[in-house]
Amino acid sequence: CPVPQIRNGKVSVVKYQYMYKDTVTFKCREGFTLRGHHTAQCQADKTWDPPVPVCEQGKCQHTDLPA
Protein backbone atom coordinates (compact mmCIF):
# COMPACT_ATOMS: atom_id res chain seq x y z
CA CYS A 1 0.00 0.00 0.00
CA PRO A 2 1.14 3.55 -0.52
CA VAL A 3 2.20 5.55 2.53
CA PRO A 4 -1.03 7.13 3.85
CA GLN A 5 -0.98 10.93 3.82
CA ILE A 6 -3.20 12.87 6.23
CA ARG A 7 -2.92 16.64 6.03
CA ASN A 8 -2.81 18.33 9.46
CA GLY A 9 -2.52 14.94 11.11
CA LYS A 10 -0.21 12.01 11.64
CA VAL A 11 -0.04 8.25 11.19
CA SER A 12 0.67 6.08 14.23
CA VAL A 13 3.14 3.70 12.58
CA VAL A 14 5.30 5.28 9.89
CA LYS A 15 6.97 2.85 7.48
CA TYR A 16 8.54 3.11 4.05
CA GLN A 17 6.34 0.27 2.83
CA TYR A 18 3.05 -1.13 4.08
CA MET A 19 2.12 -4.73 3.45
CA TYR A 20 -1.21 -6.53 3.16
CA LYS A 21 -3.11 -6.47 6.49
CA ASP A 22 -0.90 -3.75 8.04
CA THR A 23 -3.04 -1.43 10.15
CA VAL A 24 -2.43 2.24 10.87
CA THR A 25 -4.11 4.70 13.23
CA PHE A 26 -4.67 8.36 12.38
CA LYS A 27 -4.66 11.39 14.67
CA CYS A 28 -5.23 15.07 13.89
CA ARG A 29 -3.21 18.02 15.13
CA GLU A 30 -4.67 20.18 17.88
CA GLY A 31 -7.45 22.38 16.51
CA PHE A 32 -8.42 19.82 13.87
CA THR A 33 -11.06 17.10 13.97
CA LEU A 34 -10.88 13.73 12.25
CA ARG A 35 -13.56 13.09 9.62
CA GLY A 36 -13.63 9.41 8.80
CA HIS A 37 -12.27 6.34 10.55
CA HIS A 38 -9.40 6.42 13.05
CA THR A 39 -7.86 3.23 11.64
CA ALA A 40 -7.35 1.71 8.19
CA GLN A 41 -5.97 -1.60 6.96
CA CYS A 42 -3.90 -2.29 3.85
CA GLN A 43 -5.86 -4.48 1.44
CA ALA A 44 -4.68 -7.06 -1.11
CA ASP A 45 -5.35 -4.56 -3.94
CA LYS A 46 -2.98 -2.03 -2.28
CA THR A 47 -5.72 0.32 -1.10
CA TRP A 48 -6.62 1.42 2.42
CA ASP A 49 -9.93 0.27 3.89
CA PRO A 50 -11.69 2.24 5.13
CA PRO A 51 -10.27 5.15 3.12
CA VAL A 52 -7.74 7.52 4.73
CA PRO A 53 -9.65 10.17 6.73
CA VAL A 54 -9.21 13.95 6.62
CA CYS A 55 -8.58 16.48 9.38
CA GLU A 56 -10.90 19.49 9.35
CA GLN A 57 -10.05 22.74 11.08
CA GLY A 58 -12.33 24.30 13.65
CA LYS A 59 -14.75 21.44 14.08
CA CYS A 60 -15.29 20.77 17.77
CA GLN A 61 -16.51 17.44 19.10
CA HIS A 62 -16.74 18.41 22.78
CA THR A 63 -20.18 17.43 24.03
CA ASP A 64 -19.48 17.64 27.74
CA LEU A 65 -18.79 21.37 28.05
CA PRO A 66 -20.29 23.04 31.13
CA ALA A 67 -23.36 25.17 30.56
What is the pLDDT at residue 6?
95
Question: Are 16 and 42 contacting, i.e. CB atoms less than 8 angstroms apart?
Answer: no
* pLDDT tens string 7-58: 999 999 889 899 999 999 999 999 999 999 999 999 999 999 999 999 999 7
In a domain, 63, yes or no: no
Which of 42, 34, 45, 36 lies closest to 18 in space, CA to CA?
42
What is the pLDDT at residue 63?
47
In a domain, 1, yes or no: no
Find the domain containing 30 and state its range: 9-56
In a domain, 20, yes or no: yes
Residue 41 neighbours by CB under 8 Å, 6+ apart: 21, 22, 23, 48, 49
Number of structural domains (the chain) is 1
In a domain, 2, yes or no: no
pLDDT at 60 over 80: no
